[in-house]
Amino acid sequence: MARDNNKSPRRAEENDGLVKKLIQVNRVTKVVKGGRNMRFAAFVVVGNGAGKIGCAMGKATEVPEAIDKATARAKKNMVDVSLLGTSIPHEVLGKFGRGSVLMMPAAEGTGVIAGGPVRAVMEAVGIKNIRTKSHGTNNPFNCVKAAIEGLKALRTAEQIAQIRGKSVEEVNN
């Protein structure tokens, strides 16, 4: 049987310029009358590498389908993040559930000092120099959500000046 080259394979990789990071895959079991139903839950972070980030969970009977669902949902949930060069404008504490992530700006050349799930968020959003510390829980879902909540709270001096109706010099003094 000849394969038609015009058709894409079942799981085609889109080249949309987004950074996709798989955080976690869980096997979920539901016990029913006929036995056990096995499904998979995938948690994915998607960013454009230039200040936009989103995360989502997707569930399906197969792992690739769950990842695709999560990726599509994460693309819809993307939010803007205020960056200052390759770092963040100021120190911020993001909280979600019992998890909290402290994020501190770092000088050029420091790199991403972050653990597992938070590192994936920083790489996806495009931050190259940052120091972070997770407190409370080590649950990947709560760590990622806390990091994103903290990133959403970031404001540059220009944004604060615009909100207050002042110039940047007046805000800095």
Pick the CATH number of 81-159 from 3.40.50.970, 3.30.230.10, 3.40.109.10, 3.90.550.10: 3.30.230.10
pLDDT of residue 8: 42
pLDDT of residue 54: 95
pLDDT tens digits, 130-146: 999 999 988 999 999 99
pLDDT of residue 7: 47
CATH of domain 19-79: 3.30.160.20
pLDDT < 70 regions, the chain: 1-15
**143: phi > 0 → left, psi -120 to 50 → alpha, else beta; which?**
alpha
pLDDT of residue 15: 67
pTM: 0.85
Residue 163: count of CB within 10 angstroms of its CB: 10
Residues 21 and 2: their CA atoms lie apart, in Å, by 35
pLDDT of residue 11: 42
